[in-house]
Structure 1
Amino acid sequence: MPQKSLKNHISLLPVAILPTMVGAATLSNMWSPLGFTWIRHITMWASALVLLCYIAKIALHFGTFKKEYMATVPASLYAGGTMITMILGNYIFEFSPVIGKALWAIGLGLHTIHLLFFIYNNVIKNFDKNTFIPSWFVTFNGIMVSTVVGVPMNEPTIGKIVVYYGLIVFAILLPCMVVRLIKNPITTGPLFMTKAIILAPSSLCLVSYLNFITEPNVFIVYALYAIVFVSLIYVIINLPKFFSFSFHPGFAGLTFPMAIGIVASNKMSAFLVGQGYEAFGEVIKQITGFQLYITTVIIGFVLFNFVRLLVNSFKTKDAA
């Protein structure tokens, strides 16, 4: 009975946990340089466990997975699995470069396959403007996690290809998404939280650009951070509205975007200092501190509630 119950619970895992763990792992990478390495280790192990659970879900409940994957919004979020794989590759690289790089490459390869299928199934074959929402960025720009964590892999050519792809697709998608949100705003329901994802692609582009372009164009850097900053203000202004809802898996939309936003501000601060603008760099550094503070609270809240839902589901099952 316990094994059967566990198997059934795996089938019910919401897809949104995947991007949530991407956010948690990214956040832990920001705490580690401050000396809190245990936070990073525990978070990475937890991320690996979640990833294994989703692999089990695909293997044991392929029908459920297929149903989710053929639906546009859940399919876009399944990219979180490949993003976790790339982050874990970076983590393991420190202990075993061969295994770590292989895992990073597997995540990058699977994300590429996922991206191509998503384009075919949801853009070419079955485009629906109602499901064209910011979660698309998880799939389209999520591949840039490979360039956020991929510097140690020493693959500059692959990195530059991903960076330029990401910049181009961001330049195409962002205006379309902004127009969509203005003309057909998302005002209620679980999809409302996806509006926070608007912070993620510009942050991914900025971090990846600074990681792999040896002579970055300052105007591109400033333009990208301007978008990051405006997007951050947009998310912060909407926080009261976001938290006016009762908790649901859609809260995952607040996690990774806020976490990668910290990385972007941290990178921008270092870039400004390197350019000789120490005062401006210090201002951005202080903004980074506020982001770290706010994001830790948000991701902690989301993780706590996912655990609470999991525990309550087992209690309900046992009572039945």
Structure 2
Amino acid sequence: MPVPLLPTMVGACTLSNVYLAQGFPIVRHITMISALVIWLIYLVRIFLVFETCKSEYKTTVPSSLYAGFTMLMMILGSYIFDFSPEMGKLFWSLGLGLHTLHILIFTYRNIVKDFKMDTFVPSYFVTYNGIMVSVVIGGVMKEPTILKIVTYYGIGVFTLIIPFMIYRLVKHDLKDAFYHTQAIVLAPSSLCTVSYLNSVQNPNIYLLGYLYICVLLALIFIIYKLPKFFSFGFSPAFAGLTFPMAIGIVATTKMSGYLKTIGYLDLAIFLTQLSGIQIYLTSGIIFYILLNMFIWIRKD
């Protein structure tokens, strides 16, 4: 079972929350239960083939994607919370704590100890900004201080990394195996936008504008790259398209709602229509990738 299945399920769960907001709870239930089963299988896999997982975790790109395990924990925590607040918050808290530990280990191994330009790819954002999932779905946990700390950390680390990442993508060749990681650039700015609106009562319009402009630029970049992305034969690397596209919908929806509250109605309507296009695109992309992912796993 490939490591990229983890962030793929994070993307599917995020999209299911979008459908919940549209009035389709059954989509969320099916997706969350499926994600829980996959998360449990991965947990068992870690114990049964520990040396394999350890070897994967020592490799930069797979290691960065292992953050999907803790991201999935946090999302599942918000789902479980509906049925058992204590268990849901425990799951969320453990995911947040383990993700923090993962960031520290990843930073030491891949930045401090042995930095390589070849493996400095956008999947770094899965590790460094993925923790912000705790804020996106964490309002019910009633931990406003923690949510604000994670939000400002995420905005800071995104602002720090993104210029270096852009330079790396422009100036250095990207191996085919890592090509689809380029789509991940949509995720951190989207996470920052949603987290900022979720955790700050009176957001700074200039900071919010900066974050959402980054979302729009990244979305345009991905749409431009879509033909090239799908020119490759399918592999688990396609997972790079899933969560970023899904959280991008949430960012646009949240931004539209905010603009409506401050009186920018025309712009809010435009973004609402844009979110519809994003839902349309993302649903097709995630369905295609999930279907092919499971076919690939079965053949493998």
Structures share fold, TM-score greater than 0.5:
yes
Equivalent in the alignment of 1:140: 128
Q: Deviations over 1:139-173 (max 9, x none)?
A: 00000000000111010110111011101101100
Q: Deviations over 1:8-35 (max 9, x none)?
A: xxxxx11000000000000000001212
Q: Does 1:44 align with 2:32?
A: yes
Equivalent in the alignment of 1:227: 214
Out of 83, 94, 108, the position equivalent to 1:106 is 94
C-alpha contact (below 8 Å) 2:73/2:91 kept by paired residues: yes
C-alpha contact (below 8 Å) 2:189/2:211 kept by paired residues: yes
C-alpha contact (below 8 Å) 2:190/2:247 kept by paired residues: yes
Q: Does 1:127 align with 2:104?
A: no
Note the C-alpha offset of 1:190: 2.0
Equivalent in the alignment of 1:253: 240
User: What TM-score do the two structures reach when normalised by structure 2?
Assistant: 0.99
Note the C-alpha offset of 1:279: 1.1
Q: Deviations over 1:195-226 (max 9, x none)?
A: 00000000000000000011100001111111
Give me the whole-angstrom Cα distance separating, in 2, the residues matched to 1:63 and 1:157: 38
Matched ranges for 1:1-320 at <5 A? 13-186=1-174, 188-313=175-300
2:131 maps to a residue whose letter is I
SS, match of residue 169 in structure 1: helix
SS, match of residue 2 in structure 2: coil
RMSD: 0.7
Equivalent in the alignment of 1:8: none
Give me the whole-angstrom Cα distance separating, in 1, the residues matched to 2:266 and 2:149: 34
Query: Structure 1: which 5+ residue stretches go unaligned?
Result: 1-12, 314-320
Q: Deviations over 1:227-259 (max 9, x none)?
A: 100100000000000000000010000000000
Q: Deviations over 1:257-316 (max 9, x none)?
A: 000000000000000001111111010000000000000000000000011123334xxx
SS, match of residue 289 in structure 1: helix
Higher radius of gyration, 1 or 2: 1
Give me the whole-angstrom Cα distance separating, in 1, the residues matched to 2:190 and 2:73: 20
Q: Give every structure 1 segment of 4 or more consecutive aligned residues whose post-TM-superposition deviation is greater than 2 Å.
A: 310-313
Q: Deviations over 1:97-140 (max 9, x none)?
A: 11111110010000001110000111111111110000000000
C-alpha contact (below 8 Å) 2:235/2:296 kept by paired residues: no
SS, match of residue 85 in structure 1: helix
Give me the whole-angstrom Cα distance separating, in 2, the residues matched to 1:135 and 1:151: 26
How much identity, in percent, do the aligned residues show? Answer: 53
Give me the whole-angstrom Cα distance separating, in 2, the residues matched to 1:223 and 1:110: 30
1:169 maps to a residue whose letter is V
Give me the whole-angstrom Cα distance separating, in 1, the residues matched to 2:298 and 2:23: 31
Q: How many pairs align? A: 300
